[in-house]
Amino acid sequence: MVLAPDLFWRQQAGVDLGYTESDFGAAIGFMQNTDFPLAIQDLTTTVSALRALPQCNGKVASLGYCMGGLLSYLSAANAGVDAAVCYYPGSIEGHLNLVDKVSCPILIHFAEKDHYISAAAVKSVQDAFADVKTAVIEVYPGVDHGFNCWERPAYDQKTSSLAHGLSLSFLAKAY
């Protein structure tokens, strides 16, 4: 079962953006105006609601891309998920003070040539998680931010397939 909460509802309910230049600009605006503590409250409520459903076995994972990757990490630290998968989580380096709160398995995918997440930021994440045995950090050579999205110019089928397979395997082991 999958649930995708509307985390922009406080700004505009039902936001549905594509990958055009104007949509990208709108996405940046929504992201910059997101109240992350309130978003985490929403995610915590979402996790509780999922667990209460009879179709749920009680375990909940979080998976996100870009800002969603950051929110997946923040969910691992604050929302009580059982596993987290984070694809190119933007601005994660500004939240590394929460690494000690991550008690579930976490998989983080980075693009080596990411023009939004610097190599220094990736290194800081690797260093912060160095002693966390349940953390897996993958850096994919030669690809850019968005390598997993077939609607973006950065899409790389081989890397996307590899990351997808690793994510599924990771989640299977976590459950």
- pLDDT tens by residue, 108-145: 999 999 999 999 999 999 999 999 999 999 999 999 99
Q: Which residues contact 162 (CB under 8 A, 6 or more apart)?
A: 140
Kindly list the domain boundaries of the chain, sorted by start residue: 59-174
Longest dimension (CA), the chain: 44
Q: Which residues, listed in sequence order, are joined to residue 109 by a DSSP beta bridge? A: 87, 138
Domain 59-174: give its CATH architecture: 3-Layer(aba) Sandwich (3.40)
First to last CA, the chain: 14
| pTM for this model (two decimals) | 0.95
**DSSP helix/strand/coil, 18:** coil
What pLDDT is attached to residue 175? 84
Percent above pLDDT 90 for the chain: 95
What pLDDT is attached to residue 142? 98
Cα–Cα distance between 58 and 84 in angstroms, integer? 15
Residue 40 structure tokens: 């985490």
- pLDDT tens by residue, 69-123: 999 999 999 999 999 999 999 999 999 999 999 999 999 999 999 999 999 999 9
Q: Is the pLDDT of residue 9 over 90?
A: yes
Cα–Cα distance between 104 and 96 in angstroms, integer? 15
CA distances from 168 to 93, 161, 163, 171 (A): 25, 11, 9, 5
Q: Is the pLDDT of residue 1 over 90?
A: no
